Amino acid sequence: MSDHLGNAYPGLAGELRKRSFASLPTPVSHHELELAGGSRTILVKHDDQTSPIYGGNKIRKLEYIFQRAKERNARRVATFGTVGSNHALATAIIAKSLGFGCTCFLAHQKPTANIPGILDAHLTLGTELVHVGGGVNRLDVYRRYLQNRKVWVIPLGGSSWLGAVGFVNAGMEIAAQIAAGELDTPDRIYMANGTMGSVAGLALGLALAGLPTEIHAVRITETRYANWKGMLRLMNKTASLLNRIDPSIPANLAERCRIVWRDDFVAGGYANVDDATLRAVEFAKDTMDLTLETTYTGKTMAALLHDLDTNRAGGLNLFWNTYSSSAIPVPRNARSQRANLPNSFARYFT
């Protein structure tokens, strides 16, 4: 059973469908750790396993988004991100598996070790890669690639109200796992906060399920993408539209959400890395056999470890692992295919 939201609210099920390609529910593991302050239990929600094709938190959003694209008779999807965007790659992989064309508008970012593999994967998938950024007239570019092509446009990070519904369902999912005795109710959930859709949806889902759990939303990017006013707008819009479909869902559900906004581990900006992040990635691998990365999940783990070390964490804490553990598609002739990249992307292979 993967549609906990639809099952709890049948009024939604007929109007708000999803394309069920995620492997849900994702498991929760328990880890007993010896820390400076003594023994502590950390729970891990394994959204790295949302799909055997390509996991991570974006898959939950894309179930609803691709269903809407199908209902609107789209032939192609288009989305946005940086060259190392996991969201853009997840969108391209799912699009390929469902028979959609895919266009990704990508901007430059600080180089990281995973970017060459991500760009090579796009080439293998046949993604239409378009550079946007400094010196590019975005309006002209968007007209060229979007007009008259039956394109369904997916926002940055998949963070529309529709994408957020995927994590409303996730909140109901973890409530069902608690009811089944798979875990005790966590006092806190630590989650990476990029384009806000995952946090917004999860907070609404927990509130809808009546759980008192507090989400620590660890900002990993600049405030123009992640800010409290934007979070409130997204939560209120999602709750309002769910209420419009099924009035038994409170329109003011956002008022019941419990979110602690964390700005203290952004490390200077998106894709920037500091010592705390590097230590957290290493700690997770050595003690929990978790493979994290330094842009999202490493910063989130750094926040959790800091709170544990300083006795500021909750009694029972859950780390929501949003980084895919599935292998990235490997091209057979990567070097020759790179001629198809936008010219400015060649810098990531030097």
Task: Give the pLDDT confidence of 114-151 residue by residue, as tens digits.
Answer: 999 999 999 999 999 999 988 889 999 999 999 999 99
pLDDT in tens, 99-122: 999 999 999 999 998 999 999 999
Confidence of residue 1 (pLDDT cuts 50, 70, 90): low
The string of pLDDT tens digits covering residues 4-27 is 999 999 989 889 999 999 999 999
In degrees to the nearest 10, what's the CA dihedral of 165, 167, 169, 174?
Answer: -170
Rounded Cα gap, residues 80 and 102, in angstroms: 11
Residues 185-213 have a mean pLDDT of 98
Domains of the chain in sequence order = 14-57+159-321 (3.40.50.1100), 58-157 (3.40.50.1100)
Is 75 in contact with 149 (CB distance < 8 Å)?
yes
- Pick left, alpha or beta for residue 346 (phi over 0 → left; psi -120 to 50 → alpha; otherwise beta): alpha
pLDDT for the residue 136:
84
Mean pLDDT of the chain: 95
From CA 2, how far away is CA 8, in angstroms rounded? 12
Instruction: Evaluate if residue 160 carries a pLDDT over 70.
Output: yes
Q: Quick one: what percent of the chain has pLDDT higher than 70?
A: 99
Cα–Cα dist 50/8, whole Å: 21
List the structure tokens of 6.
Answer: 């639809």
CB burial string 29-61: b at 16+ within 10 A, e below: eeeeeeeeeeeeebbbbbbbbbbebbbbbbbbb
